[in-house]
Amino acid sequence: MAMAITMYAVAQQAPLHEPVRQIVVSLEDRKLALMEDGQVKKIYSVAVGKDSTPSPEGTFSIERRVANPVYRHNGRVVEPGPANPVGSRWMGLSTKGYGIHGTNDPKSIGKAVSHGCIRMGRVDIEEFYALVAVGDQVRIVGTRNEETARLFEAAPLQSGKQAVQLAKTEPVAASEPASRNALSEDVKQLAPALLAIAAASSR
């Protein structure tokens, strides 16, 4: 009887809430935001694709997660370790050939230098890897917009016309008027001279 009650109590427990995760990458800001249930959980600096091999833009998903991957490209094979170009973690995206991964060149973070993938530093990629799962949405944004400006605390872009309008309508601060005490002192200093002039003109 006690076992039956225990089993019933376990069955009645509410299922744990699984947060809805979304990853937003701003190519212009070179930053990545991990969001859970619409709230920013973490922001990371990243490297993105260079002009000749740009990062893809659009909405994708994480399809694979590999810890300590073997790098293979054009016949070249690099085993896991500090020389591996994709670092210690790989998360393949739903667009073939692209992913979010580590790097063996930490100085590249914050720059547009990759072959199109999103690179992260070792500490960041290993933390990020543990926080995401297969199926999580990844949105890569090329040009800064209101959302990425808000996420990454960048000032929203303004057109030239808007900038001119703001310049025209911005009030000009008036000079601060002299205090009454200062005026009184000036009058006191001028009083003898004014009295002398008045006396001379009355003669």
pLDDT (0 to 100) of residue 185:
55
CA-CA-CA-CA dihedral for 107, 125, 69, 24, to nearest 10: -100
Ramachandran angles phi, psi of 108, nearest 5°: -80, -15
pLDDT (0 to 100) of residue 73:
87
Q: 93 and 63 in contact (C-beta within 8 Å)?
A: yes
- Domain ranges for the chain, please list them: 18-160
pLDDT (0 to 100) of residue 48:
98
Task: From first to last of the 203 residues of the chain, give the pLDDT tens digit.
Answer: 555 545 555 555 656 778 899 999 999 999 999 999 999 999 999 999 999 999 999 999 999 999 999 999 889 999 999 999 999 999 999 999 999 999 999 999 999 999 999 999 999 999 999 999 999 999 999 999 999 999 998 544 444 444 344 334 444 444 344 444 544 555 455 555 555 545 545 45
Q: 62 and 138 in contact (C-beta within 8 Å)?
A: yes
Chain-centroid distance, C-alpha 122: 19
pLDDT (0 to 100) of residue 17:
76
Query: Which residues does the annotation mark as catalytic?
Result: 101, 117
Which H or E element spans position 50? none
Q: Which two tokens stand for residue 82?
A: 């500090």
pLDDT (0 to 100) of residue 172:
40
DSSP-derived 3-state class of residue 126: helix
CATH number belonging to the domain at 18-160, selected among 2.40.440.10, 3.30.750.24, 3.90.1170.50, 3.40.50.300:
2.40.440.10
Q: What distance in Å separates the CA atoms of residue 117 and residue 167, rounded to the nearest whole number? A: 41
Q: Which two tokens stand for residue 149?
A: 């400006």
Q: 47 and 162 in contact (C-beta within 8 Å)?
A: no
What is the residue type of 40? V
* Backbone φ/ψ region at 150: left (φ over 0), alpha (ψ -120 to 50), beta: alpha
Q: Which two tokens stand for residue 76?
A: 């070249």
pLDDT (0 to 100) of residue 164:
40
